Chain A
Amino acid sequence: MKEYVMGNGAIALGARQAGVSVVCGYPGTPSSEIIETIAKYPHEGMHLEWSVNEKAALEVAAATSYAGARAMVTMKQVGLNVASDPLMSLAYVGVEGGFVVVSADDPGPISSQTEQDTRRFAEFARIPVFDPATPQEAYEMIQDAFAYSEKYKTPVIFRPTTRVCHGYASISAPDTFAPVRGKGFEKDAGRFVIFPRLSYKNHGLIEERNVKIGEEFSSYRFNTAEGGPAKKAVLASGVSYMYAKEALLDHSGVKLIRIATAYPLPESFLLRELAGVEEVMCLEELSPYLEEQLLKLAGKHHLSLKVWGKLTGHVPAMGENSTEIVQKILASYLGWDSQAQENAKIPPLPARPPVLCAGCPHRASFYAVKKAMAGKKTYYCGDIGCYTLGNAMPLDMVDTCLCMGAGVTMAQGFSHIDSEGKAFAFIGDSTFFASGITGVVNAVFNEADLTICVLDNSTTAMTGHQPHPGTGRNMMGHQTQKVSIEKVLEGIGIQKIITTDPLDLAASMDAVRECADLPGVKAIIFKSPCIAIEKSKKKCHITDDCINCKLCIKETGCPALTIAEGKVTIDASLCTGCGLCSQVCPKAAIGGESHE
Chain B
Amino acid sequence: MNKDILICGVGGQGTVLSSRIIAAAAMEQGYPVKSAETIGMAQRGGPVTSHVRIGENAFSPLIPKGKADLIIGFEPAEVVRNLDYLATGGLAVVNTAAIRPTTASLSGDGYDGSEMRAYLQEHVNCILADGNKECEQLGSVKFLNILLLGIAQGSGKLEIPGEVMIKEIEKRVPEKFREVNILAFNRGCEIGEQSKA
Contacts and interface: CB of A to CB of B under 8 A. Distances in A.
Contacts of B111: 350
Interface in B52-94: 57-62, 64-66, 77, 80-81, 83-84
Given A249-B57, A346-B119, A561 B64 contact: no
Contact of B103 (A169, A343, A353, A561): A353
Nearest to A388: B41
Contact of B100 (A164, A245, A350): A350
A207 B73 CA distance: 54
Nearest to A568: B105
B11 A354 contact: yes
A94 to B, nearest CB: 35
B190 interface: no
B40 A350 contact: no
Given A322-B62, A355-B45, A350 B104 contact: yes
A393 B103 contact: yes
B37 interface: yes
B189 interface: no
Contacts of A245: 59
B24 interface: yes
Contact residues of A: prevailing secondary structure:
loop
Contacts of B5: none
A167 B103 contact: no
Contacts of B105: 553, 561-563
Interface in A341-364: 341, 343-344, 346-347, 349-357
A4 B53 CA distance: 13
A393 B123 contact: no
A443 to B, nearest CB: 28
A352 B46 contact: yes
B60 A4 contact: no
A356 B44 contact: yes
B23 A4 contact: yes
A316 interface: no
Given A169-B34, A323-B64, A563-B105, A353 B59 contact: no
Nearest to A341: B66
Interface in A38-72: none
A512 B60 CA distance: 51
A557 interface: yes
Given A352-B46, A354-B46, A558-B102, A167 B35 contact: yes
A335 B166 CA distance: 48
B84 A353 contact: no
A594 interface: no
Interface string B92-119: 0000000011111110010100011001
A224 to B, nearest CB: 14
A386 interface: yes
Contacts of B24: 4
Given A350-B109, A386-B44, A324 B23 contact: no
B45 A357 contact: yes
B106 A562 contact: no
Contacts of A29: 39-41
Given A169-B33, A245-B59, A352 B39 contact: no
Contacts of A356: 44
Contacts of B60: 239, 242-243, 246, 322-323
A358 to B, nearest CB: 9
Interface residues of B, number: 53
A168 B34 contact: yes
A389 interface: yes
B77 A349 contact: yes
B42 interface: yes
B47 interface: yes
Interface string A240-254: 001101100100000
A343 B141 CA distance: 32
A355 B44 CA distance: 6
Nearest to A163: B61
A170 interface: yes
Interface string A144-183: 0000000000000000000110111110000000000000
A170 B36 contact: no
B27 interface: yes
B41 A355 contact: no
A170 B104 contact: no
B80 A347 contact: yes
A338 interface: no
B106 A553 contact: yes
A347 B112 CA distance: 13
Nearest to A166: B39
A439 to B, nearest CB: 24
Contacts of A562: 100, 105
Contacts of A416: none
B184 to A, nearest CB: 15
A110 interface: yes
A4 B22 CA distance: 12
A480 interface: no
A30 interface: yes
A343 B106 contact: no
A351 B62 CA distance: 22
A168 B36 contact: yes
Contacts of A341: 65-66, 84
B165 interface: no
A479 interface: no
Given A346-B83, A350-B109, A353-B103, A246 B58 contact: yes
A327 B59 CA distance: 13
A525 to B, nearest CB: 23
B51 to A, nearest CB: 9
A341 B106 CA distance: 36
A462 interface: yes
Interface string A109-137: 01100000000000000000000001000
A419 interface: no
B116 A347 contact: yes
Given A352-B47, A353-B46, A167 B61 contact: yes
Contacts of A352: 10, 45-47, 101, 103
Given A170-B33, A343-B83, A355-B45, A246 B40 contact: no
A559 interface: yes
Contacts of B10: 352
Given A166-B39, A168-B35, 7 more contacts: A134-B61, A163-B61, A245-B59, A246-B59, A249-B57, A341-B84, A350-B109
Cβ-closest 6 pairs across A and B: A111-B40, A167-B61, A323-B64, A354-B44, A29-B40, A246-B59
28 contacts: A30-B39, A110-B40, A110-B41, A164-B61, A166-B36, A168-B23, A168-B34, A239-B61, A246-B57, A249-B59, A323-B60, A324-B65, A341-B65, A343-B84, A344-B123, A351-B103, A352-B10, A352-B101, A354-B11, A354-B42, A354-B43, A357-B44, A386-B44, A389-B44, A393-B103, A462-B41, A559-B45, A561-B105
